[in-house]
A and B are shown apart, each in its own frame.
Chain A
Amino acid sequence: MELNVKYAEENRSRFRNLLHKLWEPYKQVPLLGWLLAALVAVLLEMLVGQPLARLLGMSKIPALFGVILVLKTPILIPSTLLYLLLIYGLPIAITARLTAKLTDFIAAKLYNTSTGLSILLHVALLYAVLHLWTSISDYRLLVVKLTLISIIITLSLNVINGYMGEFSCSHPGFIALGAYTASIFTIVLFVSENQFGEAVLPPALGPYLFPIGLVLGGIAAAIGALLVAIPSFRTRGDYLAIISLAFMFIVVSLFNNLEIVGGARGLSNQPDYANLATIFVWTILSIWIINNFVRSTIGKALNAVRDGELAASAMTVDTRKTKMVAFLFSAFWAGVAGGLFAHVIRYINPGTFGIRKLAEVLAMVYLGGLNSVAGSVVGAVGFNLLSEALRPLEILKWIIIPVMLILVMIYRPTGLIAFTELDPIALIKPKSMTEGEADNATS
């Protein structure tokens, strides 16, 4: 018995050592290297993915890493694993390792020239990977679009529920305000033959003016937030939750009763402006701006308000202004996300923005982690991909996802990646550089 335990322990430590050894060279791979490796994998999938999938008995390239396929036909588990290994696993591992020196050199050069340029290059590379990856399947494209929009929504809610420490339930209302405002903007201006009459402007201008519609949607949501904020900041905690919940219901009722935007029948005919590039740019913008916001003085003030309003006030924080700004800021991004959502699905109705949407958004925030930009991204991506991939399980899916949430709450009560700060400069830093060198380079 004892021997067995000893043997198992030995085995485990041997396994750990092996993993450690395998991982060792990858510590030197900069983010640039990983992105490059991902690009190689995606290119490889474009070139040989289809014949390989056929060879392994799959009729198509598995769209979401084969999870859906495996759940439907378990016999394909080995072939799917082999596919993933051949297309993603090995190429990424090999490229990352072989190019580590080169990419680190380039990363260092870029880092020394201009960090801004370097970040831009990383983002462009990320877009290239996403663009190629989604070009393989339209289904993938739709899932990625919805996931990117979820990232904006989750991030914006995290500003209130995470950084400010309040529990706001009005997010679906803000999303609805943004979605309807942006939809009305584009339909009135650029779509003929609809309930609002002929197009006011030539439709060719549409894609260029679309951002204005999104910003208007964000502003509409922010105005809505002002309506919640004024009465509710006399209260905190549970009371704010109830007031914001009431606001959500008011918005839904408003659109249900507004015949001009279709009432309960909903609003359709949105033009197809929300392509991947547009959504990607807005997502990156939102991550960038929200990240800067929460790392700024006002972000720190928010944390101070969360941890003790009286203390914060004593330390010269204007608590009222801080909360107001954060609330409107958060609502603005929810509104932008709503506008994008409406133009992806190209049909909205008030029922979409109800209590179920709220549950989803809250789940994403608390799964990913409070007070963390990276956590929000992880939460949104994880929840969306999981929800899409487990679809074949039907009713079981609604047991598995809640159980996972409960487990996360038990073992990591604040979410997977909570209370961290996202420093983009540290992310793109070449691995060979020591702390001192990096500091010299930036200063």
Chain B
Amino acid sequence: MLKKVIAIAFFMAIIVGACAPAGPDTIKIGVNAPITGDIPKVGEGTKFAAEMWLEAIGGELEIGGKTYAIELVIEDNEAKGESAAAVNQKLTTQDEVLVIVGPQSSKQAVPAGGVANDNKTPMVSPWSTNPATTLDRPWVFRTPFLDPFQGPVIANFVTEEYGFTKAAVLYDVASDYPKGLADNFLSGWEDIHGADSVVAFESFTTADTDFSAQITKIKNTGAEFIFSPQYYNEVALIVQQAHELGFNAPIVGSDSWGSAELVNLCGEDCYGLFFSTHYAADGATGATKDFIDAYNAKHGYIPDDVGALTWDTFLIIQKAMEDCGEITGDLAVDRACVRDALAQIKNFAGITGEMTFTEQGDPIKCAVIVQISDEGTFKFYDQACP
């Protein structure tokens, strides 16, 4: 008896499976995110923003007068380069997605971008700043501004705001983002103030927690401020240790500071400091405010720049798909169409600013200077455009 039931259930299931909806009216979008690994918070922000977007459009999109169901294929890349490449290979050839969002950090985006480009599938990375991600890859785009832009922006801002001439840099030599930005700041600062105006260029290695040697050295060189393009957890330690060692000059940062965790860890020590970033959460208006409020209501914290940039990325690919006019069902044609539409996006108003893609697939957009207020929020202070 039991065997019969099992057999019948088995065949029923096959029939149900065979009838499962898999028509051409579904558009698949791949998301390549670091859900496990070193940076799970980044993966979480990506996933939340992606799901919010899907909810916002009601799970479907109208393209050329026809309604398509949108399906997100979210895959975990474990924050590893080879896994990100494998995920992209799977998304492009197995799942047959139309366009890929992610991976976030450059360590994954550079190899994954190569796979997307080889498979002629458009990919937009919301967070990667390494030039190699998009370089000579017509199918790969990104939403954040690049370090060669951000470095000089900070140099200009400090010069105008404080009138300083002697800079110090403290960065992580083993992490590609801080390293790249530190180099770009160095050249940006020296362009304004001449050679040797960066009096200390101090480095440490990922997972270091004691910076007193570097800070003491910086203090002794007579630097007027420190630029530290580090992640929020290190920033808290650097700022607190600097204050303990009696270094009370400003410490300036970059977009990697922009996490809600920063103020929790750093407390009053960080009040009043400036950093450059993609958007300012406090005092935001319009679409930006709507996004922040919706995210906060749903997940209980203010989204950091990963969330905001991922959100913008989804809006961009939505626009590209809509601009495409028609989804033919022939994947190669549709992918090419989305790529061309992406390349032609001009003055797109995202929540992280207005952007236009260059030929290289990098956006031209403004940077925002944010000040950490006495309530611990990130307040808009200034804007710098290319």
Contacts and interface: CB of A to CB of B under 8 A. Distances in A.
B36 A394 contact: yes
Contact of B174 (A75, A344, A350, A397): A350
B114 A256 contact: no
A139 B83 CA distance: 11
Given A266-B107, A266-B110, A391-B75, A75 B90 contact: no
B106 A256 contact: no
Interface in A45-78: 55-60, 63, 68, 73, 75-78
Interface string B88-125: 01101110100000000011001100110001000000
B86 A142 contact: yes
Nearest to A82: B14
Interface in A317-359: 341, 344-352, 356
Contacts of B111: 268, 345-347
Interface in A93-127: none
Interface stretch (A154-162, A165-173, A257-265): A257-265
A38 to B, nearest CB: 22
A253 B205 contact: yes
A347 B110 contact: yes
Nearest to B174: A256
Nearest to A55: B18
A211 to B, nearest CB: 22
Contact of A268 (B11, B17, B119, B132): B132
Contacts of A139: 86, 89-90, 93-94
B174 A252 contact: yes
B277 interface: no
B2 interface: no
A344 B111 CA distance: 10
B304 to A, nearest CB: 20
Interface in A254-311: 256-257, 263-266, 268
A347 B22 CA distance: 36
Interface stretch (B175-183, B252-260, B311-319, B361-369): B175-183
Contacts of B83: 391
Contacts of B22: 57, 59
A75 B20 contact: yes
Interface residues on A, range: 35 or more
B80 interface: yes
Contact of B16 (A68, A75, A257, A398): A75
A362 to B, nearest CB: 16
B10 interface: yes
Given A356-B80, A391-B76, A56 B89 contact: no
B256 to A, nearest CB: 14
Interface string B71-87: 00001100011110111
B130 interface: yes
Contacts of B81: 345, 347-349, 352
Nearest to B12: A78
A263 B130 CA distance: 12
A137 B114 contact: no
A345 B85 contact: yes
A243 interface: no
A79 interface: yes
B35 A79 contact: no
Contact of A265 (B14, B94, B130): B130
Contacts of A143: 86
Contacts of A63: 90, 94
A24 interface: no
Given A146-B82, A345-B111, A253 B174 contact: yes
Contacts of A395: 35-36, 40
Interface string B1-41: 00000000011011011111010000000000001100010
B180 A265 contact: yes
A138 interface: yes
A136 to B, nearest CB: 10
Interface of A: 55-60, 63, 68, 73, 75-79, 82, 137-139, 142-143, 146, 252-253, 256-257, 263-266, 268, 341, 344-352, 356, 388, 391-392, 394-395, 397-398
By Cβ-Cβ distance, the 5 closest A-B pairs, closest first, are A57-B18, A57-B17, A78-B13, A79-B17, A264-B176
